[in-house]
Amino acid sequence: MEGFHDLLKLLDSMLGGAWWFPYVLLGTGLFFTIYLKFPQVRFFKHAWQVVTGKFDKKGSPGDTTHFRALTTALSGTVGTGNIGGVAFAIFLGGPAALFWMWATAFFGMTTKFVEVTLSHKYRVKTADGTMAGGPMYYMDRRLNMKWLAVAFAIATVISSFGTGNLPQSNNIAASIESTFGFDPLMVGSVLGVLLGLVILGGITRIAAVTSKIVPLMALIYLIGALAVIFANLENIGPAFASVIGDVFTGSAATGGFLGATIAYAFNRGVNRGLFSNEAGQGSAPIAHAAAKTDEPVSEGMVSILEPFIDTIIICTLTGLVILSSGVWKEKHQNVFDRSDMMIVAGSYTDTVDSDRQQLYAYINDLDTSEVMPFNGEIQIVNGKSISTGYTLLNARSVAEDVKFSFGDDDDLFTGKLKVVDGGLIKENIVVSGKSLIHSASLTALAFTKGFFGESGKYIVSVGLLLFAFSTAIAWSYYGDRAMTYLLGPRSVMPYRVVYVFAFVWAAVSDTTLVWTLSAVAIVVMTLPNLLGIFLLRKEMKESVNKYWEDFNKEHKS
């Protein structure tokens, strides 16, 4: 597993964490925004009118309504990225990461408009009479690039696990365990059974379920978030100021928070923004292909609303809750994940400015750092270290009150622990203490700082359960459509079985490993789609102009 994790980290640095990927993603959205004359602004009102069914025509081909197609696509995007992902982005990149999530959403509104329109235009009717669409169909039927269509479909299957399955299950289990104390394996197993029951019904059952879950979960989450925001209203102004200020200065090494560089905040903000709204990834077009309309551009209009609802509204609420509550830069008691933990040579503290600056440079891989990984042995007596000459870091902070055990407070470790290149060799030792926290646990803690007090964490747990479970449902459909394209209908059932088992497995896997896998899978899927829509830019422009011209003639006559 350690070797697999190292491989994922390497792939993440080459793809998900690569310096060029955010520029490609934002650059595509910026290009189409200018090329199509800011459609996310011009057509924003029209998009709301379309989704309400105002311009629907009887007898239009498709399997579901505009609204249900929107809620299905939203169920695929509104998930852990809105709860755990925002917290993880702020943890990694500081407040500036939220700004770059906004930028990704704004330009992503246009990117999604383009990919949905083109995919809907080249959808096909399958043998059972249902619609099937997605980027692989315009790549195949319009671009005559079968190889690219196959690459995209394969990446979709991978991403169905890396985006829609594994991180969703992992965050649900972590949140339910921290809130209610339920065993993660039990949570994953129960939800795995429910997942299997839902996805067997295909797009009709999926759309029916998500059309009820999405509005409910959004309302619950909104109430909980506003309870924290209004309770910390005096901190909202400084929170916005920190978001904008850190865009130009980077996160400072202050207090327990060791911050991030400007480039790192940009990279992680854009990546988490994509993970949240999936604009450019090519997933939403698969859901929108089922919509009842004979006008592809009208369905593209509907998709404009997704990044707005998903990121600009819901992610902003999460970000303001975390920043205004202040918990993001405070240390809290927790069990340390090995992937979050490192041991460095020398004694450092985050109460001394010079130490903070050195650790900041080390964590952000700056050449100015003199900090080195620790190699050697640590002597432990009754769970406490009696050795000196090293510092244990966890989650970008100096760990405090560190305890070594076998997982039980009464079963404390005594003996020597070998450390190689900053990592503990002994695998069965549980390390706990006070440090920064991230992901869903951070969001859950922030929700306790409002009018609901400790009960606020239940809102996050319930919201996360609904958000993430609905995402897993939607992504199972994306994956089985891709499998149908690749290997035919017979491949769908084996895929669904593996999908359910993976959902159960992820409930007890390492959180950082799962997030790294998702970051890699996102890029593998996104790049072929961005290439495809760019090649069809002229056709897209002609389609939009014709649609708007025809619409104005029809409704003004």
pLDDT in tens, 177-205: 877 788 888 888 998 888 888 887 777 77
Following DSSP, what letter does each residue of 191-253 receive, concatenated?
HHHHHHHHHTTHHHHHHHHHHHHHHHHHHHHHHHHHHHHHHTGGGHHHHHHHHHHHHHH----
Convert the pLDDT of each residue in 120-158 to its tens digit.
Answer: 899 888 777 778 889 999 999 999 999 989 988 988 898
Q: What are phi and psi of 193, to 5 degrees?
A: -65, -45
On the question of pLDDT at 416 being above 80, the answer is: yes
Within 13 A of 474's CA, how many CA atoms are on the CB side? 34
Q: What angle do CA 530, 534, 538 make, to 5 degrees?
A: 150
- How far apart CA 523 and CA 544 sit, in angstroms, is 28
CB atoms inside a 10 Å sphere around CB 128: 8
- For residue 530, what pLDDT band results from cuts at 50, 70 and 90? very high
Q: How many CB atoms lie within 10 A of CB 422?
A: 18
Q: What is the mean pLDDT of residues 221-230?
A: 92
Element (DSSP H or E) covering residue 319: helix 316-325
Both tokens assigned to 526:
């996104």
Q: Which residues contact 344 (CB under 8 A, 6 or more apart)?
A: 359, 362, 371, 372, 373, 374, 390, 391, 393, 422
- CA 178 from centroid of its chain's CA atoms: 20
Out of 227-241, 254-268, 493-507, 514-528, which region has the weakest mean confidence (pLDDT)?
Answer: 254-268
Closest CA to 70 of 211, 201, 198, 203: 211
Domain ranges of the chain: 1-31+46-330+446-555, 333-435
Q: Name the least confident of 227-241, 299-313, 543-557.
A: 543-557
Retrieve residue 159's tokens.
Answer: 């991403």
Query: pLDDT grade, residue 10 (50/70/90)?
Result: low
**CA 221, CA 446: separation in Å to the nearest integer?**
13
Kindly list the strands in the beta sheet with 332-335, ordered across the sheet, starting from the edge strand earlier in the chain.
332-335, 430-435, 400-405
Return the residue matching tokens 């059952």. 205
The burial of 491, by beta-carbon neighbours within 10 Å (0-12 exposed, 13-18 middle, 19 or more buried), is given as: middle
pLDDT, residue 210, reads 76
Distance of CA 417 to the CA centre of its chain: 36
- Give the percent of the chain with pLDDT over 70: 87
Sequence-distant (6+) residues with CB within 8 A of 143 are 532, 535, 536
For residues 126 and 482, the answer to whether their CB atoms sit within 8 Å is no
Angle at CA 534, nearest 5°, toward 107 and 78?
Answer: 40
Residue 438: per-residue pLDDT? 86
**What is the 3-class SS of 90-140, one letter each residue?**
HHHHCCHHHHHHHHHHHHHHHHHHHHHHHHHHCCEECCCCCEECCHHHHHH
173 close to 187: Cβ distance less than 8 angstroms: yes
Tell me which residue of 518, 486, 530 sits closest to 159, measured CA to CA. Answer: 518
Residue 379 near residue 416, CB atoms below 8 Å: yes
Task: Name, in order, each residue with C-beta under 8 angstroms of 195's C-beta and a sequence gap of 6 or more.
Answer: 469, 472, 473, 476, 499, 500, 503
How many C-beta atoms lie closer than 10 Å to residue 508's C-beta? 16
Mean pLDDT to the nearest integer, 528-547 = 94
Residue 400 β-bridge partners: 434
What's the token pair of residue 9? 């980290």
- The DSSP-derived string for 459-488 is HHHHHHHHHHHHHHHHHHHHHHHHHHHHH-
pLDDT for position 174: 76
pLDDT band at 67 (very low <50, low <70, confident <90, very high): confident
pLDDT of residue 42: 95
Residue 536 or residue 178, greater confidence: 536
Which of these, 169, 177, 235, lies nearest to 446 by C-alpha position? Answer: 235
2: pLDDT strictly greater than 70: no
pLDDT digits (tens, 9 = 90+) for 379-392: 999 999 999 999 99
- Average pLDDT of the chain is 84
Phi, psi of 87 (to 5 degrees): -60, -40
Give the pLDDT score at 253: 47
Residue 539 CB-density burial (10 A; 0-12 exposed, 13-18 middle, 19+ buried): middle
Q: Above 50 in pLDDT, residue 213?
A: yes
Mean local confidence (pLDDT), 411-419: 92
Residue 511's pLDDT is: 55
Q: Is the pLDDT of residue 520 over 50?
A: yes
Q: At the topology level of CATH, where does 1-31+46-330+446-555 sit?
A: Amino acid/polyamine transporter I (1.20.1740)
Nearest to 253 by CA among 358, 343, 173: 358
**What does the pLDDT look like over 469-484, one tens digit per residue?**
888 888 888 998 899 8
* pLDDT on residue 215: 82
Q: For residue range 260-289, what is the model confidence (pLDDT) as tens digits?
A: 666 656 666 666 766 667 788 888 899 888
The predicted model gives 491-511 an average pLDDT of 86
- Is 468 within 8 Å of 461 (Cβ atoms)? no
Q: What are 388's two structure tokens?
A: 């000196």
Is it the case that residue 444 has pLDDT exceeding 80?
yes
What's the confidence (pLDDT) of residue 387?
A: 92
Q: Is 79 exposed, middle or buried (0-12, 13-18, 19+ CB in 10 A)?
A: buried
Ramachandran quadrant class, 435 (left: phi over 0; alpha: psi -120 to 50; beta: rest) = beta
Residue of 253 and 119 predicted with greater confidence: 119
Residues 258/363, Cβ–Cβ less than 8 Å? yes
